[in-house]
Amino acid sequence: MHVFVLTGAGISAESGLGTFRDKGGIWSKFDPMKLATPEAFAANPLAVHDFYNLRRRNLLGAAPNAAHHALARLEKGLADQGGGVFLCTQNIDDLHERAGSRHVHHMHGELLKSLCSRCGARARCETELSILDACPSCGRDNSLRPDVVWFGEMPYGMEEIEAALEASEMFVAVGTSGSVYPAAGYVELARSFGMETCEINLEPSDNAYVFDRKFYGPASETLPVFVDEILKG
């Protein structure tokens, strides 16, 4: 069995990283148009760096939860059975990797990387970023940004994602509100390819009506049970 898994902020909620649109979520405290667009970075790079520096600090103090570990188990278990998982995450954290998932497609980039806006080089970054930092690759200063995809930018690896969807038999969305495109449209695409579609979320998402099967509750409880079911076949 080949399974396409799409994860969102909800899978990391129980690790203490905030979601965006729940009550008290990140976008209820911060304005995304002032912090998560190329225009915002051009207008106020200090504020944007501060926002992502804070999120980077939080991430370094967080740990994966049972839902991340369940997906790592699914990857290994399906590979042993001759199948596989394409794990596509909207999350910029590295909790899937820390839980043991080996192949993770970060369509919205990675918080623990910097991107040089002059030469395009990416580098591991676990410290604070500032406008004074020089790019480790081209040496120019005032050029580094977090390697994250902002509103108005194209997510990473769209062709690879669509090819993986087409090659899969089951689509599973975990902890995503289904409100940000293109990811929110993948369930419709999956249906058009004839795949079974499953939603695992705290509560029904905006797209809940499109899914064949739905499991509601904290992902740390529902996902391990769901993974057991898939691996038993």
Nearer to ligand OAD, 22 or 212 (CB): 22
User: Does 108 help bind ligand OAD (rule: CB under 6 A)?
Assistant: yes
Q: Give the N- to C-terminal CA distance of the chain in Å, as an integer.
A: 9
Residue among 3, 9, 78, 95 that touches ligand OAD (CB under 6 A): 9
Span of 8-16, 73-81, 127-135, 164-172 interacting with ligand OAD by CB under 6 A: 8-16
CA distance 36 to 47: 10
Amino acid at 183: A
Site string for ligand OAD, 21-60 (x = CB under 6 A): xx--x------x---x------------------------
If binding is defined by CB under 6 A, does position 69 make contact with ligand OAD? no
* Shortest Å distance, C-beta 139 to ligand OAD: 29
Rounded to the nearest 10 degrees, the angle between the axes of helix 219-232 and helix 66-80 is 10
Token couple for 230: 């898939």
Query: Hey, what amino acid is at 53?
Result: N
- Whether the Cβ atoms of residue 210 and residue 188 lie closer than 8 Å to each other: yes
Q: Which of 151, 166, 188, 225 binds ligand OAD (CB under 6 A)?
A: 151
| Whether residue 69 lies in the annotated active site | no
122-124 vs 109-116, strand pairing mode: antiparallel
Distance CA(180)–CA(157), nearest Å, equals 16
* Nearest CB to ligand OAD, comparing residues 14 and 133: 14
Active site residues: 108
